[in-house]
């Protein structure tokens, strides 16, 4: 089962990497051995925990048995000194039991804290993985024409649609090419200042002047 | 004072935007985001200047004489 699993995993990895290769029997055996070792290590750890829990339970039972034994012996004892000794022994055992319980509580609290930290770390790792996957999948979305296509379209629309000083840039270009571009405040040959920019004579534009609300400007 | 403050604010906003675009452009997913944002800007520009676009498409031409 392990070797089949290893083979399947490696085939999947090969397809992800985009190439195919043949796994040798030696590699398969090595992967199978690694799987077995991992499984053994996991089972050993869980066995250790079980053994530890069992040992603690046995220690507690032994303590209780000792206390019961001392109580029975105290009842049977006739001399006060012996009874006092048994009392001392019981107190000592109970004190040791309380100390052990205290230590167990502290240990379990630290275990809980460690467990909580581990869970937080795992959750954080999972969030990171999911976010990374989402980011990577966003990168895999196709962008036909690359990023320059929409930017070029934007630039063309800026030239065609957005007016500057009453005309769009394309209009100004045309006016400049035919020699009829005039800016306001331009000084003519006689020294006077020319009027505000007017469309040149005998020129017909079929564009809207933005904000004018009518189609076409004709002079 | 007010106008210089607004110019500084304007410049800062544009610089921040370009910085963000530059950072995004260094990643593959950032390319995708910028690409579709640019198309969105094209769509918004066409929608906001609908009349001009319509007149250009219907009969926009330069004539001389």
User: Tell me, what's the pLDDT at A51?
Assistant: 81
Element (H, E) at B62: strand B62-64
In A, which residues are within 8 Å of B51 by CB distance?
208
Question: How many inter-chain contacts (A to B, CB under 8 Å) are there?
Answer: 70
Tell me how far apart the alpha carbons of residues B49 and B41 are, in angstroms, rounded to a whole number.
12
Vertex A146 angle, CA A143 and A147, to 5°: 100
User: What are the structure tokens assigned to B52, written together?
Assistant: 């001009």
Cβ atoms within 10 A of the Cβ of A116, count?
10
Give me the residue from A141, A161, A206 closest to B59, CB to CB. A206
Residue B23: strand, helix, or coil: helix
In tens, the pLDDT along A44-71 reads 666 777 787 788 788 888 888 888 888 8
Tell me how far apart the alpha carbons of residues A213 and B51 are, in angstroms, rounded to a whole number.
9
CB A3 within 8 A of CB A29: yes
CB B24 within 8 A of CB B33: yes
| Nearest residue of chain B to residue A168 (CA atoms) | B52
Q: Write down the residue that tokens 């004709």 correspond to.
A: A218
User: Tell me, what's the pLDDT at B39?
Assistant: 94
**B57: pLDDT strictly greater than 50:** yes
User: Tell me, what's the pLDDT at A17?
Assistant: 60
**B65: pLDDT strictly greater than 50:** no
Contact B52 A153 (CB under 8 A): no
CB A140 within 8 A of CB B27: no
User: Tell me, what's the pLDDT at A123?
Assistant: 93
Give me the residue from A158, A202, A206 closest to B61, CB to CB. A206
Q: What are the residue ranges of helices labelled H in A77-168?
A: 80-139, 148-161
In tens, the pLDDT along B17-43 reads 999 988 988 888 998 999 999 999 999
8-state DSSP, A146: T
DSSP secondary structure string, B27-55? SHHHHHHHHHHHHHHHHHHHHHTHHHHHH
User: Tell me, what's the pLDDT at A183?
Assistant: 76
Spans in chain A with pLDDT lower than 50: 20, 193-196, 202-203, 206-219
Contact partners, residue A143, CB within 8 Å, separation at least 6 = B31, B32, B35, B36
Length of chain A in terms of residues written: 219
């Amino acid at each position: 089962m392990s070797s089949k699993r290893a083979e399947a995993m490696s085939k999947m990895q090969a397809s992800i990497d985009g190439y195919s290769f043949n796994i040798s029997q030696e590699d398969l055996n090595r992967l199978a051995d690694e799987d077995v070792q991992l499984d053994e290590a996991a089972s050993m750890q869980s066995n250790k925990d079980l053994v530890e829990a069992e040992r603690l339970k046995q220690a507690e039972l032994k303590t209780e048995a000792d206390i019961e034994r001392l109580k029975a012996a105290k009842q049977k004892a006739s001399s006060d000194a012996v009874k006092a000794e048994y009392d001392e022994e019981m107190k000592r055992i109970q004190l040791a039991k309380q100390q052990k319980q205290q230590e167990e509580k502290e240990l379990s609290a630290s275990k809980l804290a460690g467990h909580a930290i581990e869970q937080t770390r795992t959750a954080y790792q999972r969030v990171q993985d999911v976010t990374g996957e989402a980011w990577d999948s966003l990168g895999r979305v196709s962008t036909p024409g690359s990023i320059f296509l929409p930017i070029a379209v934007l630039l063309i629309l800026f030239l065609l649609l957005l007016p500057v000083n009453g005309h769009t840039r394309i209009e100004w270009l045309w006016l400049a090419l035919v020699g009829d571009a005039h800016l306001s405040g331009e000084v003519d040959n006689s020294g006077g200042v020319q009027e505000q920019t007017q469309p040149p004579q005998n020129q017909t534009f079929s564009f809207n002047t933005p904000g004018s609300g009518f189609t076409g400007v004709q002079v | 004072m007010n106008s210089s403050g607004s110019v500084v604010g304007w410049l800062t906003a544009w610089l921040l935007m370009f910085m963000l675009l530059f950072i995004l452009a260094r990643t593959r997913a950032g390319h995708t985001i910028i690409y579709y944002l640019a198309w969105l800007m094209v769509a918004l520009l066409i929608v906001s200047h609908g009349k001009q676009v319509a007149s250009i498409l219907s009969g926009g031409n330069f004539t001389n004489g």
